[in-house]
Amino acid sequence: MECGLSVASAPPSHFPARSNYLSDYLLRMNAMRALCHPVLPSFSSSTRSPTPCRRRLPTFSAAPHRRADRWILAAAPEAMASTQPWTAQEQEKAKEAKLWGGRFEDSVTDAVERFSESVSFDKALYKQDIMGSRAHARMLAHQGLMTVSDRDSILHGLDEIERRIEAGEFVWRMDREDVHMNIEAALTDIIGEPAKKLHTARSRNDQVVTDLRLWCREAIDKIVASIKQLQVALIKLGLSNEGLIVPGYTHLQRAQPVLLQHLLLSYVEQLERDVGRLVDCKDRMNFCPLGACALAGTGLPIDRFLTSDALGFTAPMRNSIDAVSDRDFVLEFLSANSIAAVHLSRLGEEWVLWASEEFGFLTPSDSVSTGSSIMPQKKNPDPMELVRGKSARVVGDLMTLLVLCKGLPQAYNRDLQEDKEPLFDSVKTVLGMLEVTTEFAQNIAFNHARIQKVLPAGHLDATTLADYLVNKGLPFRTSHEIVGRCVALCVSRNCQLSELPLDQLQGINSIFKEDVYDFLGVENSVNKFSSYGSTGSECVAEQLSFWISKLQIGQTENEKTE
């Protein structure tokens, strides 16, 4: 375990011989427990009963080496190994750190502090939190709820906080619980009294959900852009393999011949629906909760439309209880992510199969492959295996949030603090899956010779032969039965349909004529497909033309339009 502290883990007999080896060992073990497992007991060489061990309250710092303050997560072992309980002064300091501490006489325990904090992960929302605070301050000044001078001080202070965060100079304190309290408390430290007016007509309940909606909007834009990059890569992969016919499968059994371009375009279409779901989700989430306060709104003369417009929302949310209590927009986002992840998983599964010796249809480059620690010959398509595997993680994030939300009464509940980690994980994972799938698509080669060698197997032209008989006037079910007999004859003679002599075909049914051979063989079979959206060459060319135009492939950046 990474603890930030070098502690020997061997039993006492492994330490250098000396008279106090046991006390030295116990000292080291207690230090490790205090750092890594602050709720574990410490041990004494004079007794075997555990004594309570409490670690002084840490917080999170972007530059932990710069401070030895016990409130900051310090790297110095001596700062983290203390097992002394809090002093009265420390308890008071913890209480004062709370911006809600007025009605409380005692501070929370350090165990509750650690368990309740969210700043370790919700600090990812700092940009959105500052953005919302800027809009809120401007609205309050516009409505006469603070002076222009106070507004300007707040805006200046927020700018400074943002600068410090991005420069790695900001100290995230766990005793300030979350991103909102950290920023507001830091603002008070910087500008003093004016900062105390910022939370007028605002609660963390509407503040956090506003931050989340802003964050999700940006995340959706990033995912959509990444999907577009993958779509372009798939189309370019198809263009570089023009005319290549591959077996199409149903039930993982050979079914009909298809153009590789047609197969790749099927994934492009699926990804486009993923884009549509994400865009729809963004449209539905683009309503502003800010000003809903805790749940009931406020009697102060605020203008929610002003903040909504400033933050780029469509409008304020109509119902203040709904505004703070529901996370359906996150559920919808994670649902769209999960469907996209499943699409990527299916593509990954196909390419993993095709890269195997049994198929041998494609070869990934060394840059997107890995080897084996024991088998020198191995070249594994690990990135696509991980794409397949990580889809389970994305679906799991959705399940986490569904279960989290299912039993919550109206309105806000602290359970909703747990919505962020699955959200952040889902977005990070999907972006990674898209990036590596795009790179894989750009670094594989299809083995034309291998594909052409094995393509005739499986009687892929059987359905086309049935169509031939339908064109001759036979009912399809009758045609199906006749072709089935033809296939059985091929199986018994170990040959292909195109290799059967005409007299043998006519021995099954006299309707067969010389023109039957225009329908046999995979090339002829593909060329006979003509329905809209089919695998016929002309149909696929139309599909490619549509996507090349839609995705503006081949155009320079100056030629591209929104």
- Could you give the residue numbers annotated as active site? 251, 372
| Per-residue tokens: 218 | 């940006």
Closest CA to 100 of 208, 207, 212, 199: 199
Helices of type H across 311-460: 320-325, 328-354, 382-405, 420-441, 448-454
The span from the CA of 234 to the CA of 264, in Å, is: 6
Contacts of 48 (CB under 8 A, 6+ apart): none
CA dihedral for 18, 19, 22, 23, sign (positive or negative): negative
DSSP 362: E
Closest CA to 258 of 469, 496, 31, 464: 464
| Per-residue tokens: 426 | 């889902």
Residues in the chain: 562
CA dihedral 277, 279, 284, 288 (to 10 degrees): 150
The span from the CA of 303 to the CA of 241, in Å, is: 59
**Contact (Cβ atoms closer than 8 angstroms) between residue 151 and residue 141:** yes
The span from the CA of 257 to the CA of 455, in Å, is: 8
The span from the CA of 521 to the CA of 527, in Å, is: 10
Closest CA to 203 of 128, 132, 122: 132
DSSP letters, 478-495, are HHHHHHHHHHHHHHHHT-
Single-letter residue type at 11 = P
Residue 4: CB atoms within 10 Å: 13
| Per-residue tokens: 357 | 């010796």
Kind plus residue range of the DSSP H or E element containing 34: helix 21-36
CA dihedral for 528, 532, 535, 540, sign (positive or negative): positive
* Residue 83: strand, helix, or coil: coil
| Per-residue tokens: 153 | 């001080």
C-alpha angle 117/118/123, rounded to 5°? 135
Residue 406: CB atoms within 10 Å: 7
Distance from CA of residue 343 to its chain's centroid?
Answer: 13
Strands (E), 141-180: 171-172
